[in-house]
A and B are shown apart, each in its own frame.
Chain A
């Protein structure tokens, strides 16, 4: 019996099993696409993310600046997730994006709510405190104010609703719209998310890129 391929048999095969060949092609593509994109997926230690609760962002190049500044340290992606405090879905956005962001910027009322029962919740362990060592490494000047919980600084003030001179010295308003006409002004703070792997040596993780990014970010918006 001749078993070599011939044109007629090949033609017959595609007529009879064309559907199977199509499935093979689709399965091959899905398998290769899924496996390679999963391997090449940007890892949390390659990202610097900001979750910003505010009334919007002004034109900025912060994401690309952070990437170009820290690319040599392995950062390949930076995202700014900005949502309005009036957005009904902000809690779900926070769960989706905030929990994986290195920096979380929230209004004071949210901090007050979050930290009101620190003894009965594990909320404190979700954030890194601004220790003296951390401040020395990441905070370029000592003129910042903090939100303290149990005597420890847990959030750095970015915007003061009642002190124009603080805002002039720290012009984060050039990046973030902290106020909205008709809405009462509120101070805003930056928290350090302890669950990201970018706070070495202040936290177990993979890189110290968030420390470097914070230093760069604060320096960028300082008069």
Chain B
């Protein structure tokens, strides 16, 4: 099993996701604009309370969704893309690593969420190391197994099972 967590294709995929996100933001905002125009065209004195309540709910939902999108989706995407580009352009370390412990709690690292595992570098007298990888990456690590790990700044770029 060999998994490339950071690659040129991966960066392309991140760019596509960013594009999709912008399309979502634009369409969602257009929906809000249509609703607002509709509300102002059809509101009158007898229905003004209804439109104030509806408008408040929908505008709050729109703003909160945009807030969530930019802080929890767009920002990590952008940070991971920037990190990926940097990782591929720099020299990376390749080691044989025995996985000691897998941590379940995700941790934010340089703006994107990562999972952590403790490992020992087999070729370096079992030196203890900490590695991270993007938390939604599709890899299944097992404690005790040895992997060939290519990493940049402790973040796994490629991992291959050895034994």
Give A residues with C-beta under 8 Å from B.
1-3, 5, 9-10, 12-13, 16-17, 20-21, 24-25, 27-29, 31-33, 35-37, 39-40, 76
Contacts and interface: CB of A to CB of B under 8 A. Distances in A.
A1 B56 contact: no
Nearest to A32: B55
A40 B77 contact: no
Nearest to B106: A8
A-B CB proximity, top 9 nearest: A32-B55, A28-B59, A2-B136, A24-B63, A29-B56, A25-B60, A28-B60, A28-B56, A40-B45
Given A3-B73, A10-B68, A16-B71, 18 more contacts: A1-B77, A2-B136, A5-B73, A12-B72, A13-B67, A13-B68, A17-B71, A24-B67, A27-B63, A28-B56, A28-B59, A28-B63, A32-B51, A36-B43, A36-B48, A36-B55, A40-B44, A40-B45
A40 B48 contact: yes
Interface string B38-77: 0010011100100110011001100110011001110011
A39 B40 contact: yes
13 contacts: A2-B136, A3-B20, A3-B21, A5-B73, A9-B72, A25-B56, A28-B59, A28-B60, A32-B52, A32-B56, A32-B59, A36-B43, A40-B45
A167 B44 CA distance: 44
Interface string B123-163: 00000000000101000000000000000000000000000
Interface of B: 13-14, 17, 20-21, 40, 43-45, 48, 51-52, 55-56, 59-60, 63-64, 67-68, 71-73, 76-77, 80, 112, 134, 136
A24 B64 contact: yes
Contacts of A76: 45
Contacts of A13: 67-68, 71-72
Contacts of B72: 5, 9-10, 12-13
Q: Is the interface of B mostly helix, strand, loop or mixed?
A: helix
A17 B67 contact: yes
Q: Is the interface of A mostly helix, strand, loop or mixed?
A: helix
Given A12-B72, A17-B71, A28-B59, A37 B17 contact: no
Contacts of B45: 40, 76
A36 B43 CA distance: 8
A1 B84 CA distance: 12
B59 A31 contact: yes
Contacts of A33: 52, 56
A39 B136 contact: no
A1 B67 contact: no
Which of B13, B21, B52, B71 gathers the greatest number of chain A CB atoms within 10 Å? Answer: B52
A76 B40 CA distance: 21
A1 B55 contact: no
Contacts of A31: 59
A20 B64 CA distance: 8
A45 to B, nearest CB: 15
Contacts of A29: 52, 56
Given A1-B76, A3-B17, A32-B59, A39 B43 contact: yes
A197 B143 CA distance: 85
B30 to A, nearest CB: 18
Nearest to A30: B56
A24 to B, nearest CB: 4
